[in-house]
Structure 1
Amino acid sequence: MARKLAKTTRGMPNRVERLGFRLDEETKDLIERAAHLSRRKISDFCVTALTDTARRTIAEHETMVLSDRDRKAFFDALVNPPEPSERLVRALAEHKRRVAT
């Protein structure tokens, strides 16, 4: 995914992309009130809120949380790996046959 960022003299990214959407009046009033209470411009408030939510969403999808039992099984398999199954041995042989090194 390409990103366009132009740098200003102060080192802050210059906003060059637009994102547009429509809101109902109640949601718009809510956002305006929150921006006012935090003493920020509406656009700055929205960009920060969207960015924070986007980062959290990505982290939730890219992070795996294991139970204690699963964590133990994972590390046990790393420390004492099981013997490869016949199916895995065949798959590796087929891979070696097809892929030139």
Structure 2
Amino acid sequence: MPAQATKDTTINFRTTSETKNWIDRAASLLGTDRTNFIVQTMVERAMEVVEKHNTVTLSDRDRDAFLELLKEDTPNEELRDAARARRELLDD
């Protein structure tokens, strides 16, 4: 079992009584407390957002065009331009 990280910071926020009641009810149904429910839910959502941001989804047409480019022995000018643009973007 992995070691548990030390909790070394605080996040505070205000909400409505109705929202708090919904959170408490959901936490209770899962057999956990409010803090653990909120943290777990927020981390799961944060991971989804990051994953979505880091994932590129191509249409079938774009996927097929990309795969065709991979079959070429030498990069064409458009591919070289794309590589240059990527390098410039990452250098910023």
Structure 1 residues 9-51: Cα deviation after superposition (integer angstroms, max 9, x where no partner): x711111111110001110000000001111011111110000
Q: TM-score scaled by structure 2?
A: 0.76
Tell me: CA distance 1:15–1:60, structure 2 relative to 1, closer, same or farther (3 Å).
same
1:64 matched to 2:56? The reply is yes
Q: Could you say which structure has the greater relative contact order, defined with CA pairs below 8 angstroms and 6 or more residues apart? A: 2
Residue correspondences, number: 78
Query: Secondary structure at 1:14's aligned position in 2?
Result: coil
Structure 2 alignment gaps of length 5 or more:
85-92
Match of 1:83 among 76, 81, 85: 76
Q: Which has the higher helix share?
A: 2
Mapped partners of 1:67, 1:48: distance in 2: 33
Q: TM-score scaled by structure 1?
A: 0.70
Structure 1 alignment gaps of length 5 or more:
1-9, 92-101
- How many percent identity over aligned positions? 32
Q: Give 4+ residue runs of structure 1 displaced > 3 Å after superposition.
A: none
